[in-house]
Chain A
Amino acid sequence: MMNNASAVQAAGLRVTRGGHPVLDDLSFALPRGRITGLLGPSGCGKSTLMRAIVGAQARVTGELTVLGRPAGHRELRSRVGYVTQAPSVYADLTARQNLDYFAAVLGAPARARAAAVEQALRDVDLTSHADALTGSLSGGQRGRISLAVALLGEPELLVLDEPTVGLDPVLRRDLWALFHRLAEERGVTVLVSSHVMDEAERCHRLLLLRDGRLLAEDTPDDLRRRTGTATVEDAFLHLVDEARATAGAAVTPLRTKATP
């Protein structure tokens, strides 16, 4: 598992908040140029894990390597794109002005900036709303501006926290097509979280997270095969039940990390 093919590598990763563990002893790897889905119920630690990877999370212990550097290294700041759950863009700027500013922060020279902004707007299909005030757009449109910001500067790793929540089916399909295009054509590594299990089928690999622990790290096909289930949702439920049974029988703390 320890090789250069991994964009992100974690071993014994732990995060505490208020003295309590939020993430407990996570070890996994994200292969380069692939889409990995981070799945699990609300509050299981998905956002915390993503914040740890982009270097926004305090009190992270264990090993966490991102693109060959320790997570949060200053050199990574222009190589990793990050989209939070709530759209983090300026409501009192237009979409274009938002993108223009963040492109400047990423260090794009003034000449190249307009083209980069146009490309990002096209990627998220917002060219027609480019000059509307962000605050007057719908929640889904604001989310797409936020996503477009993360696409600026051609990041090698994209960390997307529930980017498809609240979007209509057509848009969701288009965004997933975009993620695949980014992975296949530009070699971008994508980590995308969701609590909607049917999105899991669109990922190359999955991390199943529950209560801050890793339940499984596998491809959707192998996960279903291994658990003898028809959908990833059923596989997830199967693993949760299995973990409960083990914990109940042995009366030991949960040790449920399955290895593929």
Chain B
Amino acid sequence: MNAARKLATARRVLRQLAHDPRTIALMLVVPCVLLTLLKYVFDASPRTYDSAGAALLGIFPLITMFLVTSIATLRERTSGTLERLMSMPLGKADLLGGYALAFGAVAVVQAALATGLSVLLLGLDVTGSPWLLLVGALADAFLGTALGLFVSAFAASEFQAVQFMPAVLLPQLLLCGLFVPRGAMQPVLGGLSDVLPMSYAVDGMSQVVHHTGVTGLFVRDLAIVAGCALLALALGAATLRRRTA
């Protein structure tokens, strides 16, 4: 681990993004537009908007970061820059940490905009502190980054990488409790839901909707999300090889 190399990597990733303003705009604006849309879709039932809105505040950063990270690391693998970096004195943890830092910074901005818009302008009504929504969104963004890093190892092209999004994230979206409460699911589906990380991302956000202060369950959910992210990151690190055939 080397802080200077990790920071240099984060700065490099942000500089790459800076040359691509359209991607930045899409990352920041699209969640806001969707949340606004959601508000008017559920105009007649504000309670549904509150719970779905809070859940989506966690899900959007997860999806965005998953997509951006899987494509970015795939490019790193196919352009030969990964092989070059692996022949240089750069630790795998520095590379992954640099990515996590850079995309984490983008996630902060994205989550702040989406949360601010929802709470201040769209009237999202949460019992707990909106700051907790922000913390939850950040943990979910971290999970998205880690999952994206991991699956990019199994994609040989950008076509495949993009298809991993519906393959990996949509089943989680269906089972996370957004459409049907997790408790009301068939036992098999409920069990499946229990082992998928996005379920805890959504559970954590709903804790904030229904309770004041930091509940034990909120902390547990956040810890599970962060634990899954760390696991995916470790598995992702194992797919970075200094020597390849």
Contacts and interface: CB of A to CB of B under 8 A. Distances in A.
B244 A58 contact: yes
A84 B12 CA distance: 21
A155 to B, nearest CB: 10
Interface string A54-78: 1111110000000000001010011
Nearest to A76: B87
A88 B79 contact: yes
B4 interface: yes
Interface in A94-109: 97, 101-102, 104-107
A90 B79 contact: yes
A114 B48 CA distance: 56
Given A72-B243, A92-B20, A105 B81 contact: no
Interface string B82-107: 01111111100000000000000000
A82 B88 CA distance: 9
Contact of A97 (B15, B81, B87, B243): B15
A106 B85 CA distance: 9
B80 interface: yes
Contacts of B15: 93, 97, 101
Contact of A56 (B4, B11, B90, B244): B244
A191 B118 CA distance: 60
Contact of A106 (B20, B86, B89): B89
Nearest to B94: A105
B16 interface: yes
Q: Chain A: interface residue count, which band?
A: 20 to 34
A66 to B, nearest CB: 12
Contacts of B8: 101, 104-105
B20 A93 contact: no
Given A54-B87, A56-B242, A88 B20 contact: no
Most A CB atoms within 10 A — which of B4, B79, B88?
B88
Q: Chain B: interface residue count, which band?
A: 20 to 34
A92 B81 contact: no
Contacts of A107: 4-5, 89
A260 B88 CA distance: 35
A88 B90 CA distance: 16
Given A58-B243, A93-B15, A149 B84 contact: yes
Interface string B104-118: 000000000000000
29 contacts: A55-B242, A55-B243, A56-B83, A56-B86, A56-B242, A57-B243, A57-B245, A72-B243, A74-B89, A77-B89, A78-B88, A80-B87, A84-B80, A86-B79, A88-B83, A90-B16, A92-B16, A92-B19, A92-B20, A93-B15, A93-B16, A101-B9, A101-B12, A101-B15, A102-B84, A105-B88, A105-B90, A107-B4, A149-B84
Given A92-B16, A93-B15, 12 more contacts: A17-B245, A55-B242, A55-B243, A56-B242, A59-B245, A72-B242, A80-B87, A84-B84, A88-B83, A93-B16, A101-B11, A102-B88
